[in-house]
Structure 1
Amino acid sequence: MYKIYPKTLFIGQIIQYLPSCQSTNDEASTLIAQNDPNEGLLVITDHQTAGRGQRGNQWEAKSGQNLTFSLILKPSFLTATEQFWLNMAISLGIYDALQPLVDDSLRIKWPNDIYVDDKKLGGILIENTLHGYSIAWSVIGLGLNVNQTEFGYSTATSLQNQSTLPHGYDLPGLLSRLCETLEQRYLQLLSGQRDTLKTNYLQTLYRYQEEHSFESAGQYFKGTIIGIDANGRLAINIDEQVRYFDFKEVSFS
């Protein structure tokens, strides 16, 4: 059970705790379909049996050792084409909470993973419901590896692996801090501070302005990430030509 008292206006003020569920995003979506839930409501579980990530990937997390939750927001001030701004705000909110616990190797991997060096610490899955041209509801699923130390993938890591505490990290305390930093970034977005958000996002972006290998449509190439466009597409400089890639059109290799 999670009892937290974040210093927030709305995020985390109401929590629905489930010892186990298939997907917190699905549970949050059901709440939206059934009634009009409060903005900032969290659905959190100790054990998610069918969690999912971008590209249909499964999310691996041992019961009671990590943070797995979904946040309900109502970003009606954003149009459908502006949804990546929410992605940036959420990513930065997570970064702000975790960076003091790790170090400068913490990065946001486009479009929405949290990395330490070349290992994944957490992931974000945002699912939006539209009303006309605006976003009526957003369900933001967050999975963060906290106290788990062994994974089935060599590319996964956790806070405990990166910065060990004798008795592990306090999950409710970390959740409370996340609520605060997520709300701060969300309010930045709400108040129109987009230049600040984009600048901060690029400053923390994984492999930004570094030449690395990528794959797209079965082709491998070297390029340098130079930014993102207004729709959230990744801009890569390839042989002195800039190409733009959508979420599922390019991967890091």
Structure 2
Amino acid sequence: MPGFSDLERPPLDERFLRSRLVRPGALWSQIDVLAETESTNAVVAAAARAGAAEGLLVAAEYQSSGRGRLGRTWTTPARSALLMSALLRPTAVPAVRWPWLGLLVPLAVAAAVRRVGEIPAQVKWPNDVLVEDRKLAGILLERVDGPAVVVGIGLNVSLREDERPHPAATSLALEGAATTDRATVLAAVLRELATRYQTWVDAAGDPEVILPEYGELSATFGRSVRVELPDGTFLEGKASGLDTDGRLVVDTADGPHSLAAGDVTHLRTTP
């Protein structure tokens, strides 16, 4: 496991996390910490298909085959990030509204980082958390039979300058966050996620419980964007907001275009 002996990166304490977060009536029903796995999303997806209860959370100190959106790889040194996947079963929400989880989850991560890290994290549509234009975290949601949703979160915590996989990558440490204690940040993320998820479920998935805060923390709305589409073409315009299905609306010279996450290969803001 690369970086396993790094004393500046202590392991997550599974017993401590369970004592803080797993309680009767709480969303989180089980927390497991793995030393290493190929993908926490794959572990949780298998558990979901086997009938695991909602609220399972699996974290890993190192992922050998972590994945991001569109099959992109997500690799970090051991214990330098929070790599975790959660099992949600929002059966009280109409299936047509489940895609809104893709906006709710990064919002919860950004809120947690702002609260305990005291840095100005924002959300970039569809599934990233940024500090200014630097990527701090990525989110990957997958539907599985059950029905269920597996929520994967990768959040850079102590990644150093010489470890960055890309010049646009950042971490809590690089941003001078108030804390880089992974247990503290993990607990904050799970609490913010549980609160927003329960509010959203209680509202039968009504987007209005997400949209006001999402607009406040958006790093995309109101900015000029260049969108790469799956066929290799590009769309340019100003991101004006979301439509009723959670698709990004881009105002172009040809009129407004609504884009779902699956319609976009890459989106970047332009001057």
- For the residues of structure 1 that align with 2:188 and 2:177, how far apart are their CA atoms? 19
Higher relative contact order (CA 8 A, sep 6+): 1
Structure 2 residue 216 is the aligned partner of structure 1 residue 203: yes
Q: Tell me if structure 2 keeps the 8 A contact 1:125–1:140.
A: yes
Task: State whether structure 2 residue 242 is matched by structure 1 residue 231.
Answer: no
* Structure 1 runs of 4+ with >6 Å offset: none
Contact map agreement 1:25 1:139 (CA 8 A) in 2:
yes
Q: Which deviates the most, 5-14 or 181-190?
A: 5-14
Residue of 189, 192, 209 corresponding to 1:178: 189
Aligned partner (choices 37, 46, 63) of residue 61 of structure 2: 46
CA contact 2:81–2:155 (8 Å) conserved in 1: yes
Relative to the length of structure 2, the TM-score reads 0.83
Q: Supply the AA of the counterpart residue of 2:80.
A: Q
Is residue 49–residue 144 contact of structure 2 (8 Å, CA) maintained in 1? no
On the 8 A contact 2:140/2:151 being kept in 1, the answer is yes
1:1-253 mapped onto 2 (5 Å cutoff)? 1-2=13-14, 3-4=16-17, 5-6=20-21, 9-34=25-50, 36-100=51-115, 101-104=117-120, 106-129=121-144, 136-149=147-160, 150-164=163-177, 169-192=180-203, 194-216=207-229, 217-239=231-253, 241-250=255-264, 251-253=266-268
CA shift digits 1:186-212 (9 cap, x unpaired): 011012163131121122122211223
Partner secondary structure for residue 158 of structure 1 = coil
Q: Does the 8 Å contact 1:12/1:176 carry over to 2?
A: no
User: Contact between 2:81 and 2:182, CA under 8 Å: does it hold in 1?
Assistant: yes
Q: Which secondary structure does the structure 2 equivalent of 1:225 belong to?
A: strand
RMSD: 2.0
| SS of corresponding position for 1:159 | coil
Alignment partners' CA distance in 2, 1:213 and 1:137: 33
Aligned partners of 2:119 and 2:177 also within 8 Å: no
5+ residue gaps, structure 1: none
| Aligned 8 A contact 1:82 1:230 in 2 | no
Can you list the C-alpha shifts for 1:35-63, whole angstroms capped at 9, x where unaligned?
x3222111111011101010110002110
Q: How many equivalent pairs are there?
A: 245
Determine the C-alpha separation between the residues in 2 that align with 1:158 and 1:102: 13
Q: CA deviation at 1:102?
A: 4.1
The answer to whether the 8 A contact 2:22-2:31 is kept is no
Structure holding more strand per residue = 1
* SS of corresponding position for 1:16: strand
Percent identity (aligned): 26
Tell me how far apart the structure 1 counterparts of residues 60 and 148 of structure 2 sit (CA, whole Å). Answer: 21
Alpha-carbon separation, structure 1, partners of 2:140 and 2:67: 8
Q: Give a deviation string over 1:1-41, Cα, whole Å, max 9, x none.
A: 4221038743444212211000001111111222x322211
Q: Deviations over 1:98-130 (max 9, x none)?
A: 1132433x2111111111111111111111135
Task: Say if 1:73 and 1:139, in contact at 8 Å, map to a contact too.
Answer: yes
User: Any stretches of 5+ residues in structure 2 without a counterpart?
Assistant: 1-12
Q: Which residue type is aligned with residue 33 of structure 2?
A: Y
**Distance of 2:95 and 2:191 partners within structure 1:** 26
- Verify the 8 A CA contact 1:47 1:63 in the aligned structure 2: yes
With the length of structure 1 as denominator, give the TM-score of the two structures.
0.89
- The secondary structure found in structure 2 opposite 1:121 is strand
SS in 1 for 2:262: coil
Structure 2 residue identity aligned to 1:198: L
